[in-house]
Structure 1
Amino acid sequence: MSPWQQRPPNASAAGGMGPRGNGTGRAAERGSAVSVAIPLTMMLTGVVGNALAMLLVSRSYRAKGSRRKRSFLLCIGSLALTDMLGQLLTSPIVISVYLSGRPWAAMDPSGRLCDFFGFSMTVFGLCPLLIASAMAVERALAIRAPHWYASHMSPRATERGLAAIWAAGVAFALLPLAGLGRYALQWPGTWCFISTAGGSAFAAAFAALGLLSLVVTGACNLATIEALVSRCRAKASAAHPSSQWGRITMETLIQLLGIMCVLSACWSPLLITMLRMISEHTAEPCRGGSGESQRWELRRECNLSLTAVRLASLNQILDPWVYLLLRKILLRKFCQAASAMSKCSNAECRDRSITLAEEIQRTAA
């Protein structure tokens, strides 16, 4: 998902959409290198981050002591692969349309490219949300039901679950081919997504599934935090209190809260905006209106919608850092802070700087 291009200030907001939604206004001029640098930088950052995450996951998965965390690693790797494919399939199209200096209708008279772009946006928007929910459920089961988790959760079961998520995402995105919903060109004429015109049930279903995924992720993460805090208190009151559990609990709490904040901040604006447009039966709001004040309001509304989609696209870039790449960095910082307070040795701190996922999985089992 990468609709990062925007019309130049002198572009008309009123002439942007045709009957199908194919743009007729021109994109920015070729000399606007600063504008092109934005989506190009975002694409490269997302691809590099997700590729690095998959490399680290692959190395950890092949390690001898990784058997207990393979389900978690499969989810992380699948999320990184999904995000990277979304970047590779959508960003080049956006950049090409912008650099061509031609309207979308001239490049895509049949509308098939628009359908493909909307399909890709839907698949690679919905699947990461569902995978994030699956990861939250996996963590909650590992902490709250360790015995059930050990006997039922296997890499093969995880692979089947991830395949089901992918199949469900693709099947949902293909619904417009059966006449249930449609994809249309969106403001500012360089990307396509689900049309919300006429209170689309397809758009409402996408928004509802997305919000449900956010709720499930938040609920499972909170359940995981509550279980860890309870177990930490139990160990603290035991005859031999464990300071390690207190450290693990604090690190997990911070990371899970960070995951929830990133997901909510990136996706809630788009999903809520879609539901609002559907409930108000907003039909192609970016075509323009009569009167300068009305055009200004429409332009502001369109820019707000574009910002919401950009935030959702940003989630693909942040995912590998939130879930994996920043983990060792954060744990090292936490260890340094703990070292200053407890005056532990550097060697002891280095021993404690292992991945959070491995430590939680080992303790849960």
Structure 2
Amino acid sequence: MSPWQQRSPNASAAGGLGPRANATGRGGERGSAVSVAIPLTMMLTGIVGNALAMLLVSRSYRAKGSRRKRSFLLCIGSLALTDMLGQLLTSPIVISVYLSGRPWPAMDPSGRLCDFFGFSMTVFGLCPLLIASAMAVERALAIRAPHWYASHMSPRATERGLLAIWAAGVAFALLPLAGLGRYALQWPGTWCFISTAGGSAFAAAFAALGLLSLVVTGAGNLATMEALVARCRAKARAAQPGQRWGRIATETLLQLLGIMCVLSACWSPLLVTMLRLVAQRAAGPCRGDVRRWEWQQQWQQQWQQQWQQECDLSLTAVRLASLNQILDPWVYLLLRRILLRRFCQAASAVSKCSSAECRDRDSASDRAITLSHRTAA
């Protein structure tokens, strides 16, 4: 049953948006105008970045000589597509709620929009994590087991794996329809997500799967980095430094470090917070238990002081997780190319200046030596 179907008509007026219920009247228009800038900016930035990443992936995939990296390109393209769909399906709803100046219950009395929003948040939150872990495993196999990788990893196998990830994400997000968990309104009343009230097993499963994906991604990237370092040392001992190989290895190491840092920083706060709330079996407006808000109206001032900080921390955590959809294309593709190009240009300029300096210094030395010989003669 939808979380709104058991609410009384007065619930929305009884602090249903929490202590910052500034979107319920004309007095909140100024704060709403400030707040709407955040989801609007995140949506536009995410769409532009992911669209550009998909364009570059499409061009690279069709290029000659890209057969060996087509599986990796498919993973990057699917990650960009997933992130962009997540932005397109959720951000407009948040923006419309901010701009309408009406509480969510007034816009969604049946609760179906809340369920759809929570479903979208779950699918497009879990699938990128699973795709990132699959990419980490794919890179580790390509570096550590190249022969097995060449004979077993084909673009068709990668497509089947990606379809399985999407199907698993959708099936998991549909569990509330079977009565396993529910989606509920979250602080400050502009988005819906998995309810953690009462020690929800569904919320615990989502957080556990997310953390497991982070662990697999970190382990796969560390295995790849260890193999790259070992291969670089082997080439150095064999007196075959390989300038191109060293550049590619350094670039890959920096990229993998960036991926791990971004994923951990964006997703760990939300996942850890969800596990903590489930373990405490606590409930509150910022945790999605809307029905308890009615009897808390008379204690609203005391409630504000007690829960304000925690609600703000929860909102920051989910914004960090949403930020990952924006950073993904830059970490995996765009920033790598731009930084590499700039680095090469800077290195080339420094190298040319150093060479010119050496030539000028040598010429000056030669002239001084010649002049001294002539003076001595």
TM bin, normalised by shorter chain, reads 0.7 to 0.9
Q: Tell me the residue number matched to 1:207.
A: 207
Aligned positions of 1:282-297 closer than 5 A: 282-286=282-286, 287=293, 290=299, 292=301, 294-297=303-306
Q: Tell me the residue number matched to 1:125.
A: 125
Matching residue's letter, 1:225: M
State how far apart, in whole Å, the 2-side matches of 1:187 and 1:57 are: 37
Question: Residue 17 and residue 284 in structure 1: after superposition, are their counterparts in 2 closer, same or farther (change >3 A)?
Answer: farther
Matching residue's letter, 2:253: L
Is 1:309 aligned with 2:307?
no
Q: Tell me the residue number matched to 1:319.
A: 328
State how far apart, in whole Å, the 2-side matches of 1:146 and 1:345 are: 39
Which runs of 4 or more aligned residues in structure 1 lie more than 6 Å from their structure 2 counterparts after TM superposition?
none
Q: Tell me the residue number matched to 1:26.
A: 24
**What is the number of residues matched between the two proteins?**
331
Q: What displacement does 1:66 show? A: 1.0
Q: Tell me the residue number matched to 1:332.
A: 341
State how far apart, in whole Å, the 1-side matches of 2:90 and 2:354 are: 49
Question: Residue 275 and residue 31 in structure 1: after superposition, are their counterparts in 2 closer, same or farther (change >3 A)?
Answer: closer
Question: Residue 104 and residue 24 in structure 1: after superposition, are their counterparts in 2 closer, same or farther (change >3 A)?
Answer: farther
State how far apart, in whole Å, the 2-side matches of 1:66 and 1:243 are: 21
**Is residue 15–residue 24 contact of structure 1 (8 Å, CA) maintained in 2?**
no
- TM-score (norm. length: structure 1): 0.85
Q: What displacement does 1:36 show? A: 2.1
Bigger helix fraction: 2
State how far apart, in whole Å, the 1-side matches of 2:244 and 2:323 are: 34
Q: Tell me the residue number matched to 1:279.
A: 279
**Is residue 23–residue 98 contact of structure 2 (8 Å, CA) maintained in 1?**
no
Aligned positions of 1:11-90 closer than 5 A: 15-16=15-16, 26=24, 28-29=28-29, 32-90=32-90
**3-state DSSP class of the match of 1:203?**
helix
Q: Tell me the residue number matched to 2:167.
A: 167
Unaligned runs of 5+ in 2: 1-11, 287-292, 356-377
Q: Point out the structure with max Rg over C-alpha.
A: 2
Let me know the Cα RMSD of the aligned residues. Answer: 2.5
State how far apart, in whole Å, the 2-side matches of 1:68 and 1:54 are: 19
**3-state DSSP class of the match of 2:66?**
helix
Q: Tell me the residue number matched to 2:139.
A: 139
State how far apart, in whole Å, the 2-side matches of 1:283 and 1:183 are: 14
Matching residue's letter, 2:71: S
State how far apart, in whole Å, the 2-side matches of 1:24 and 1:42 are: 22
State how far apart, in whole Å, the 1-side matches of 2:197 and 2:39 are: 27
**3-state DSSP class of the match of 2:68?**
helix
- TM-score (norm. length: structure 2): 0.82
